[in-house]
Each structure stands twice: as C-alpha cells, then as structure tokens.
Structure 1
Amino acid sequence: MQGLSTEEYIEQYDGLSGEWRVWETTGRLVAISFHVESAPSNQKPWLGTILVKAEERRQGIASAIMNHLSDEFKLNGQKALFAAVPFDEYEWSNFLTDCGFEQFKTEENKGETYLIMVRPLE
C-alpha cells in the first residue's frame, strides 16, 4: 500500500460506485476486495483491488476470490473482467496473469501509464 494506512488506501475508492467485500476462511478474515459491476469507461466489471493478509498469501485465496467474482459476473451476462495496474508494477501484472488475466492495452491517465488487463469469462 506504499506508505498509506488502510483507511487512506480505502479512501482512494471514495466516489466510485463499487462494492467492498470481506473474505474469510474458517471464520478468519483473510482478504478484502473492491470491484465495480459497471465502470463508467466501458460499462464492464472492473477489479479495483484485492488485499490478502501477508501470512495468507500464496495459498490460492486471491485466485478463489477472482473465480467467485468471475462466476458472479458471468451469471449476469458479462464476458470479461477488467483490471488496471501501473505499467512498472511487474509483480501486480504477474499476479493478475497468474489469476487468468491477459494483457489488453496501455492507457495514459494523469501522466502515468497503466497496463489494462482483461480476464475472459467464457
């Protein structure tokens, strides 16, 4: 979260009409996520973030969350889930690739280049 408190990180999503979710396994909080079902840019679902507790990482939790969200969007007739990461954040793009996302294109926003990724839902 690059020096931000959890509250400051979450505040970055204020104003977006999305949904925060808390994810648990065996009654323990393991992750939170944020997504929008219809982004203003393309009216498609977008993943905003997934935060998994450090001690719970590399256990398939993020992939399970991604699969759950993808199944929900597919049931609603969507064909893809989108995400964006700063172009130079290789770990993030590698993580999304591991979760079934593909590189789609790059976009400029406020002087920063973002890699737009898409996860086909068919």
Structure 2
Amino acid sequence: TISQSQEIPLSYLEQILNGLHRAKLVRSIRGPGGGFLLAKKPEDIRIIDIILALEESVSPVFCVDKLEKNQCKYVKSCVARLLWEKLDKKIREVLEGTTLKDLCEWAKGTSNTLEHEYMFY
C-alpha cells in the first residue's frame, strides 16, 4: 500500500487523498480491489494544483499571499517584501509549469525502485 511504502500513517494518507479528491485530482473506486486513480492525465495535473489542494498557500511568507487578510503593519515600507514577492513569483512559475508527469519522469531517472510507488491501489 501507499501508506506502507511511503511510511506514513494511514489516517494521514486518507486526509491527503480526501483533499486531492475534493480538488478533483483523484477519483475513488469502491469495493474489493478499489482505491484511488488519477482523475486527469498526469500531464494535466500541475504541481501547484496538488499543493493548493492540501495547503492554503504556496507563498514563502504570509505578507505576499494575496489571500492573506492580516497584512503586516510594515507592508508598504518593507524592503524585504520586494525580495519575497520576487521569490513568490518564481515559486509559482515553477509550480505552475511543472506537472505530475514531469515528476514521474524525473523519478524514473533516480532509481528503479521508485516506479512501483506511483500506483494508487
């Protein structure tokens, strides 16, 4: 199982899969032999979509997160914020431009033992 191969508790894996299911990135198959399958082709699933299905933000600090309501009182005068905004933009570019298929291709080049770990049942 994924839980065993990745050495994570089953309850935590269920939370992850539920989040991915709510985001329509995986679909569930009930019954014996059931499990989870990708709901889209791997090349159509961006890494940013996976992360945002499980986390509230990909921003490195809260002050550059567009959805953050509690802005820092120094937001208009903070020089470091300019750095964080540039970093946030680059992070988003990489995550939006990288797909699940890309990760699987990269994994194939790292070890033969990784190939079986991408099965969802």
TM-score by length of 2: 0.28
Which of 1 and 2 has higher RCO (CA within 8 Å, sep 6+)? Answer: 2
If each structure's helix is expressed as a fraction of its own residues, which one has the higher value? 2
If each structure's strand is expressed as a fraction of its own residues, which one has the higher value? 1
TM-score by length of 1: 0.28
